[in-house]
């Protein structure tokens, strides 16, 4: 622990200029970067855009996309790209207005007035921080509502994906605010209380708290939050259920519950995932996926998902995100005591003299944005690598399964790679996914390799497996 604090102290000393230097135009710097980022996003969209004018799918997909489906997917992609372009610029203008007119400082004053109305002064920093966060949330989310309405009821509707009714749409928003308040309020209060109590030695305490919070959410989310939005019901007995149970048991996957989720209530996009603690996992499959694919193909999608578990991808991602979090928090302390930072964002001298923790933290995060963009691109690259591995796992399943029914299992799973390929094609066709993708656009935005890349890799895995089986003979 002492080593850690010595290290953190050195970092703070190196950055001590942050607390005293009034000459750094923090706000201008944040504005410049966010515009730079929006321009870059626009450039990526413009690179991608001509792909929607292609008249034929990539050769590898020629047999799977009919002319009609391909044309539909191109139209859907084009409409989504236009929407991204407009909504990106709109959000940027909104953010610029908030920054330019000192919105963050104004909101802090407004939160103070709300508290004063109830008879509480500025010494009640934590309640004021919660009200401030709520005001900021409203300031950024309410103006974005028209975009959400357009996306759901015009864009998705036009292409046949929207299943949301206006009633569900409105209740979802209200429920979201409610959950945000119930979970977010106490979370923020605990976060601020820890930093205040531990002073500049908050880093390990805060990391510990965030770990505990994430563990708690693994219980809270499926039991109390998700049921507000979706219905999870046990997957009925039948071919699919027994196939998945057999798959899980032959891999010693600690399957506790197997659910079907009514994703079709909002959208006809399809999916499957698992979650839980190391010794007790739950699998959730979208009803849309079950409806559109044969049990053998859904099983192959699950084989891919279990590949993520087998190679401990969630744990690896968690480790990376903890390291990321640690490096952010390690640099934070000098920003915690920086009147110049608050002054640059238009906070009055009286507030800046003793910066509220939440304000410093939010401004600090804005300053980190360029680094976060790079980290995001890196995380996508890691995620794509994990997707390759999970696909390879599904292909190599016959070699990985064994147990009581060893030989029968191996034979039954020999064609898992082909089935996964079929399921992926079906998912992409149903979702009208874009199949022509610019490489730079994909590198920045995609957490999954493209369909063409995945099918090609599945073929290569199959060849490799055949070659190695021959060698064994
Ligand atoms: Zn995956």
> What is the Å distance from ligand 1's center to 335 Cα?
38
| Contact between 341 and 355 (Cβ < 8 Å) | yes
The environment of the single-atom ion ligand 1, i.e. residues with CB closer than 5 A, is 387, 390
The residue whose two tokens read 């238009």 is: 346
Is pLDDT at 88 greater than 90 in this prediction? Answer: yes
Which helix (DSSP H) or strand (DSSP E) does residue 191 occupy?
helix 185-198
Distance 284 CA to ligand 1 centre (A): 14
Distance from C-alpha of 420 to C-alpha of 458, rounded to nearest angstrom: 9
pLDDT at 385: 96
3-state secondary structure of 260: strand
Q: Binding residue per annotation — 337?
A: no
Ligand 1 mean position to 326 CA, how many Å?
26
pLDDT for 132: 96
Q: Which of 391, 396, 418, 453 is catalytic?
A: 391
Of 1-5, 178-182, 202-206, the range with the lowest mean pLDDT is 1-5
pLDDT range class, residue 6, cuts 50, 70, 90:
confident
148 is in an annotated binding site: no
Distance 448 CA to ligand 1 centre (A): 7
- State whether residue 256 is helix, strand or coil: strand
37-75 pLDDT, tens digit each = 999 999 999 999 999 999 999 888 888 888 999 999 999
- CA–centroid distance, residue 388 to ligand 1 (Å): 8
Q: Is the pTM of this model over 0.75?
A: yes
Does residue 157 have an active-site annotation?
A: no
Q: Residue 412: left if φ>0, alpha if ψ -120 to 50, beta else—which one?
A: alpha
Q: Considering 41, 297, 305, 453, which one is annotated as catalytic?
A: 305
Annotated ligand binding at 282? The verdict is: no
User: Left, alpha or beta for 403 (phi > 0: left; psi -120 to 50: alpha)?
Assistant: left
Q: How far apart are CA 407 and CA 299, in angstroms?
A: 18
Query: For the segment 330-367, what is each residue's pLDDT rounded down to a tens digit?
Result: 899 889 989 999 999 999 999 999 999 999 999 999 99
Residue 306 CA to ligand 1 center (angstroms) comes to 9
Say how many Å lie between the CA of residue 202 and the centre of ligand 1: 36
Q: Residues 364, 385: contact at Cβ < 8 Å?
A: no
Mean pLDDT of 139-146: 92
**Residue 460 appears among annotated catalytic residues:** no
Write the pLDDT tens digit of every residue in 195-223: 999 988 899 999 999 989 988 988 888 88
Looking at residues 219-246, what average pLDDT do you find?
A: 89
- Average pLDDT of the chain, as a whole number: 90
Q: Alpha-carbon distance 260 to 244, whole Å?
A: 13
Compute, in angstroms, the gap from residue 283 CA to the centroid of ligand 1. 13
Please tell me the distance between residue 208's alpha carbon and the centre of ligand 1 in angstroms.
29
Which of 273, 291, 265 lies closest to 152 in space, CA to CA? 265
At residue 192 the predicted structure's pLDDT band, cuts being 50, 70 and 90, is: very high
182 DSSP assignment: I
In the numeric block, which tokens belong to residue 359?
A: 């304000």
- Residues 238-262 as b or e (16 or more Cβ within 10 Å = b): eebeebbbbbbbbbebebeebbbbe
Distance from the CA of 383 to the center of ligand 1, in angstroms?
8
List the Cα angle 310/312/316 in 5-degree steps.
165
Distance 308 CA to ligand 1 centre (A): 7
């Amino acid at each position: 622990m002492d080593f850690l604090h010595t290290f953190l102290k050195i970092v703070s000393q190196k950055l001590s200029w942050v607390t005293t230097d009034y000459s750094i135009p923090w706000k201008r710097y944040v504005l410049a970067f966010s515009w730079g980022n929006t321009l870059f996003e626009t450039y990526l969209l413009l690179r991608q855009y001509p792909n929607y004018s292609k008249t034929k799918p990539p050769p590898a997909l020629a047999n799977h996309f009919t002319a009609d489906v391909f044309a539909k997917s191109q139209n859907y992609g084009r409409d989504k790209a236009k929407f991204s372009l407009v909504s990106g610029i709109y959000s940027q203008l909104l953010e610029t207005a908030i920054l330019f007119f000192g919105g963050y400082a104004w909101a802090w004053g407004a939160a103070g007035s709300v508290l004063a109305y109830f008879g509480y002064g500025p010494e009640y920093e934590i309640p004021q921080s919660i009200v401030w966060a709520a005001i900021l949330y409203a300031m950024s989310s309410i103006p974005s509502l028209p975009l959400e309405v357009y996306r759901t009821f015009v864009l998705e509707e036009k292409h046949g994906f929207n299943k949301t009714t206006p009633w569900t749409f409105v209740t979802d928003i209200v429920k979201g605010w409610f959950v945000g308040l119930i979970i977010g309020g106490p979370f923020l209060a605990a976060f601020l209380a820890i930093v205040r109590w531990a002073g500049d030695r908050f880093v390990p305490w805060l990391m510990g708290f965030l770990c505990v919070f994430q563990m708690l959410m693994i219980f809270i989310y499926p039991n109390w939050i998700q049921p507000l939005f979706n219905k999870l019901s046990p997957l009925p007995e039948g071919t699919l259920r027994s196939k998945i149970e057999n798959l899980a048991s032959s891999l010693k996957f600690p399957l506790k519950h197997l659910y079907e989720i009514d994703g079709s209530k909002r959208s006809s996009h399809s999916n499957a995932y698992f979650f839980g603690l190391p010794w007790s996992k739950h699998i959730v499959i979208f009803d849309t996926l079950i409806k559109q694919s044969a049990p053998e193909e859904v099983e192959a999608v699950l084989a891919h998902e279990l590949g993520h578990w087998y190679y401990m991808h969630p744990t690896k991602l968690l480790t990376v995100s903890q390291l990321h979090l640690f490096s952010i928090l390690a640099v934070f302390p000098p920003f915690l005591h920086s009147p110049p930072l608050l002054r640059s964002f238009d906070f009055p001298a009286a507030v800046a003299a003793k910066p509220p923790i939440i304000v410093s933290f939010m401004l600090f995060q804005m300053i980190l944005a360029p680094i976060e963009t790079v980290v995001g691109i890196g995380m996508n690259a890691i995620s794509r690598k994990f997707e390759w591995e999970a696909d390879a796992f599904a292909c190599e399943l016959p070699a990985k399964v064994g147990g009581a029914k060893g030989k029968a299992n191996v034979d039954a799973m020999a064609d898992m790679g082909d089935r996964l390929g079929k399921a992926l094609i079906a998912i992409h066709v149903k979702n009208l996914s874009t199949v022509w993708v610019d490489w730079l656009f994909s590198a920045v935005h995609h957490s999954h390799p493209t369909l063409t890349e995945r099918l090609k890799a599945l073929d290569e895995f199959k060849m490799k497996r055949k070659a190695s089986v021959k060698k064994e003979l």
